[in-house]
Chains A and B, each alone.
Chain A
């Protein structure tokens, strides 16, 4: 098991958390209730914590010695490895919650398995993170059902939100040479291996919501190779603008 593989893996997971946190930050002061300003900022705060641990670990293992901030603030768009789902524009509250549902149910399964990683840092991180994403999943599940069984309009929007994000969920479960090597070494989780459990969990929530699981006719992909959506450039520019304002500065 090479440490550069572990570094590349930690970078993928860390970028997922970072980019979703960045999207959620944009909700703060714009949520439907003050309670949701609190909830979404709290989830973003957890995700920033995840990103910090994972990026720091990646930088320590990839041979460059880069810090969490050097990785977050000084890479270009093409160097980010997050799945496209996480960078999708927020849309309305239903789109954001549909993404929360897909990601938090995935992260719960992922971190549950990663807790047994041969890499001690990843294992320790996953134990902690699994508890946090459990709450994120409860939040998303509650809202999915509430919106689906609220009013005709909220149901229409929830369904549309699910339709919007579902083509981007497949990428979370894609295997490649890296994940196969990591899974074989017991360091990482085979994403394809948790797909069935995820589908079961999603189906249960949507059954409660009396909604069908979307069956998109296409699947997006490319984030793990750094091929992002056009909206991603603006996200990265905003994320990094102050950090890059004064090179050599201290913050």
Chain B
């Protein structure tokens, strides 16, 4: 056997050994760390998920951030500032977690700006009134918490640690969103109407898009989507990235939110919601996924605006980032202008 053959055999032997070690770590419920060997598919799935999550935090700052200058009390303004600031911080933790997988933040942002990586399509809905800021925090962040609590135990160490910090802050966001809507519901009839209108518009995006496509059972037109979703979820769960199916988490969210809506005196816009004694869960109506495919593609009005806003900020700031690099490099470029 020639040398090359020996090397190849060694590599195969090593890969088998490393793979066994990786599987053993997962089986023991231990965390995979950046220096550990991992299958390429695991790395790609994680990177895709963490990047999508990071981008969602950054794009998700926009619908609420737009209300910072109009928040109707100084207390609400301070709380909303703190919330939007938290989202920027979450974006940073998550980009840092993604960077441990060998991709830089600049590359990730480029992928967001060019449309190669996605963010939660939930944020392709417009925030039309002040009450939207409350509905987003209560419903969208509420859904995010349901998704994210299990991710604190996800198999990849840097992601799990980032999620623990994120979850603590998200729980606070949900409470402040609820509190905002509560205040509106105690106010004038028009204020309550504004709250109801916002909940009407944000319910479906939260229950559908924050959890992703069906991945257990679905009939008719969605059967194919569900089968594909189920395959991805199985893979993700086998690797310990996800711990539950999308549909399980969706149910958990509905079970949490229905009693809260009752306490607020707001109606969730789904006539199919009712307690199912037998299942011990709330039933809810089937989601018409076509609505999202039609109105929320990358080409939708709001999607274009979100991305254009993000790209404009990035491009407008290019000269600042160049200055930082030049200054850090200690060069004398600036002297020429002096």
A149-B327, A157-B319, A250-B183 known; A242 vs B81 contact (CB < 8 Å): no
Q: Which residue of A lies closest to B312 (CB)?
A: A30
Tell me the complex Cα distance, A34–B96, Å: 12
Whether B25 is near chain A, meaning CB under 8 Å from some CB there, is no
- What is the bound-complex CA distance between A243 and B73, given in angstroms? 7
Whether A151 pairs with B326 at a CB distance below 8 angstroms is: yes
B1 within 8 A of A: no
A48 touches which of B66, B74, B91 (Cβ 8 Å): B74
- B36 is an interface residue with CB less than 8 A from chain A: no
* Residue numbers in B under 8 Å from A42 (CB-CB): 85
User: Which residues of A1-58 are within 8 A (CB) of B?
Assistant: 18, 21-22, 25-26, 28-38, 41-42, 44-45, 48-49, 51-52, 55
Say yes or no: A151 contacts B187, CB within 8 Å. Answer: no
Confirm or deny: B221 has a beta carbon within 8 angstroms of a beta carbon on chain A.
no
**Which chain B residues in 115-155 approach chain A with CB under 8 Å?**
130
With both beta carbons as reference points, the residue of chain A lying nearest to B131 in the complex is identified as A242
Q: Is B302 an interface residue (CB 8 A)?
A: no
Check if A242 sits within 8 Å of B338, measured CB to CB: no
Q: Is the CB of B107 closer than 8 A to any CB of chain A?
A: no
Chain B CB within 8 A of A239 CB: yes
Instruction: Name the distance in Å between A189's Cβ and chain B's nearest Cβ.
Output: 24
Tell me which residues from 194 to 251 in chain A have a Cβ below 8 Å from any Cβ of chain B.
210, 238-239, 241-243, 245-246, 248-251
Please give the distance in Å from B328's CB to the nearest CB on chain A. 8
* Main SS class of interface, B: helix
Selected contact of B74 from candidates A34, A41, A52, CB within 8 Å: A52
Q: Is B103 an interface residue (CB 8 A)?
A: no
Interface size of B in residues (CB-CB distance below 8 Å): 55
Taking CB atoms, residues of chain B closer than 8 Å to A146 are 323-324, 327
Contact assessment for B73 and A251 in the assembled complex, using a CB-CB cutoff below 8 Å: yes
Alpha-carbon distance between A145 and B324 when the two chains are bound, in angstroms: 10
Q: Are B333 and A246 in contact (CB under 8 A)?
A: no
B69 is contacted by which of A26, A34, A41, A153 (Cβ under 8 Å)?
Answer: A26
A108 within 8 A of B: no
Q: Which A residues touch B337, using CB under 8 A? A: 152-153, 155-156
**Alpha-carbon distance between A149 and B332 when the two chains are bound, in angstroms:** 8
Q: Is B68 an interface residue (CB 8 A)?
A: yes
- Asked whether B309 is an interface residue with its Cβ less than 8 Å from the other chain, the reply is yes
CB-CB < 8 A to A145: which residues of B?
Answer: 327
- Choose the segment among A66-74, A111-119, A169-177, A180-188 that binds chain B (4+ C-beta atoms closer than 8 Å): A66-74
Question: What CA separation (Å) do A152 and B326 show in the bound complex?
Answer: 10
The answer for the CA separation of A145 and B327 in the assembled complex, in Å, is: 9
CB of B71 within 8 A of chain A? yes
Q: Which residue of B lies closest to A249 (CB)?
A: B187
Q: Which size class do A's interface residues fall under?
A: 35 or more
Kindly list chain B residues whose C-beta atoms are within 8 Å of the C-beta of A26: 68-69
Please, which residue of chain B has its CB at the minimum distance from the CB of A69?
Answer: B73
Residues of the B chain whose Cβ atoms lie less than 8 Å from the Cβ of A72: 74
Does any Cβ of B come within 8 Å of A147's Cβ? yes
For residue A22, which residue of chain B has the nearest CB?
A: B69
Contact of A28 (CB < 8 Å), options: B65, B318, B324: B65
Give the distance in Å from the alpha carbon of A36 to the alpha carbon of B85 in the complex. 10
Q: Does A123 contact B (CB under 8 A)?
A: no
Interface positions, chain B 300-319, Cβ under 8 Å from A, are 309-310, 312-313, 316-319
Contacts of B276 in A (CB 8 A): none
Task: Say yes or no: B309 contacts A33, CB within 8 Å.
Answer: no
Cβ of A67 to closest chain B Cβ, rounded Å: 9
A95 at the interface (CB under 8 A from B): no
Asked if residues A25 and B326 are in contact (CB atoms below 8 Å), the reply is no
Instruction: Determine if B78 and A45 form an interchain contact, defined as CB atoms under 8 angstroms apart.
Output: yes
Query: Across the two chains, which residue of chain B brings its CB closest to A26?
Result: B69
Task: Pick the contact of B319: A28, A151, A210 (CB < 8 A).
Answer: A151
The answer to whether B68 touches A25, judged by C-beta atoms less than 8 angstroms apart, is: yes
CB distance from A89 to the nearest CB of B (A): 13
Q: In the complex, are the beta carbons of B74 and A51 less than 8 A apart? A: yes
Mask of A124-148 contacts with B, CB within 8 angstroms, 1/0:
0000000000000000000001111
Contact at B85–A45, with CB atoms within 8 Å?
Answer: yes
A251 to B70, CA, bound (A): 12
6 contacts between A and B (CB under 8 A): A21-B77, A55-B74, A145-B327, A153-B319, A155-B338, A238-B70
Given A38-B92, A41-B85, A51-B74, 11 more A-B residue pairs with CB atoms under 8 Å apart are A25-B81, A29-B66, A31-B313, A32-B313, A37-B85, A45-B81, A152-B337, A154-B322, A238-B69, A249-B187, A250-B191
